[in-house]
Amino acid sequence: MVLKTRITELFGIEIPVLQGGMHYVGYAEMAAAVSEAGGLGIITALTQPSPEKLREEIQKCKKMTSKPFGVNLTLLPMLAPPNYGDYVNVIITEGVKVVETAGRAPDEFISQFKEHNIKVIHKCVSVRHALSAEKKGVDAISLDGFECGGHPGEEDVGNFVLAPLGAEKLTVPFVVSGGVANGMQLAAAFAMGADGVNAGTLFMCTKEAPIHENIKKALVEGDERSTTHIFRTLNNTERVYKNETAMKVRSIEAEKPGDFPAIRPYVLGENYRKSFQETGDTTSSCWSCGLSMALIHDIPTCKELLKRMVADAEQAVKRASSKVVSSKL
């Protein structure tokens, strides 16, 4: 089965599956493995402590693959935001061809990216935001449903409604993001008008993912009840693994709504990094993951994973077709 969509043509890839940007996961080895397998790998810019470190990571990825890969640039509400302009300059000067933007609208950078023929796919949790991004010139949209890990926004709309709505209203191609783990969902995304899918948690459960094996094991063993939300009272909702630390944060939020200093010690990014890269302790930090873990049952290579997704999508299409019986009126 050959999958040819507006997304494969736009990004020059073979399989319309994108690896979303993920904190402490989206390094060169992850992005290169996905791209080599036929999808679109993504390096996470802000996982790198400085623009120059991002440059080194991009150069490393170039040595690992000759296929297209992208960089995620998430524009977050932060007390001390990084110099986004310097990260943008690195992306441009290193000749990156695809940028995945997320968070607030990337208005001030779209024109810069377009001047250098860089394709921009923007993550949105609502169609109204997607339409706004489309007007501002992005090339594609990643529609992020409520099922996703990380930040699903405050709209609380699932993909079964979000995707068909996007198909009704958007002109640019879009991918379904959030809760994606198998080929049946890829086929379903096509049926709902999308041109591909974006997955994060799924790629955390691959052999090439540069995270501790204990994290991968927890995801494989988890189910649809293994995540929870924090930061609800801060209007910055995040879906994370359901553990003691996350539940402690929830209890503090219930007692002191909107009081970030009270929960800050439990949600430090350094705690997250240590869990993923050093200790493998699944309970001592708040770390992002999505509902897709319920559908993840093993830890394949990226190549094995994408080959299986394509085969399963083909079978899903055949099963669906067999249920359609024409009648003579």
For residues 45 and 189, state if they share a domain: yes
Classify residue 170: in a domain, yes or no: yes
User: Which of 125, 215, 226 lies closest to 176 in space, CA to CA?
Assistant: 125
| N-term to C-term CA, the chain | 34
> Bridge partners of 184?
none
Residue 32: both structure tokens together: 């290169």
Same domain, 158 and 182: yes
Query: How many domains does the structure of the chain reveal?
Result: 2
* 295 found inside a domain: no
| CB-CB contact of 276 with 254 (8 Å) | no
Contacts of 242 (CB under 8 A, 6+ apart): 225, 226, 227, 228
* Whether residue 26 is found in the same domain as residue 109: yes
Q: What is the pLDDT of residue 160?
A: 97
pLDDT at 105: 81
Nearest to 142 by CA among 153, 155, 127: 127
Query: What's the Cα-to-Cα distance from 232 to each of 156, 227, 253, 254, 293, rounded to whole Å?
Result: 11, 14, 8, 10, 22
Residue 106 confidence (pLDDT): 84
What CATH number corresponds to the domain at position 124?
3.20.20.70
Q: What pLDDT, on the 0 to 100 scale, is given for residue 195?
A: 98
Same domain, 97 and 195: yes
pLDDT at 18: 98
The per-residue pLDDT string of the chain (329 residues; one tens digit each, 9 = 90 and over) reads 779 999 999 999 999 999 999 999 999 999 999 999 999 999 999 999 999 999 999 999 999 999 999 999 998 766 678 899 999 999 999 999 999 999 888 888 999 999 999 999 999 999 999 999 999 999 999 999 999 999 999 999 999 999 999 999 999 999 999 999 999 999 999 999 999 999 999 999 999 999 999 999 999 999 999 999 999 999 999 999 999 999 999 999 999 999 999 999 999 999 999 999 999 999 999 999 999 999 999 999 999 999 999 999 999 999 999 998 876 65
CA atoms within 13 A on the CB side of 299: 18
> Kind of pairing, strands 69-75 and 41-44?
parallel
The answer as to whether 185 is a domain residue is: yes
Query: Is residue 139 in a domain?
Result: yes
298 Cβ contact partners less than 8 Å away, ≥ 6 residues apart: 205, 220
Count of other CB atoms within 10 angstroms of residue 136: 14
Please check whether residues 250 and 137 belong to one and the same domain. no
Q: 176 and 252, same structural domain?
A: no
Boundaries of domain holding 224: 213-279
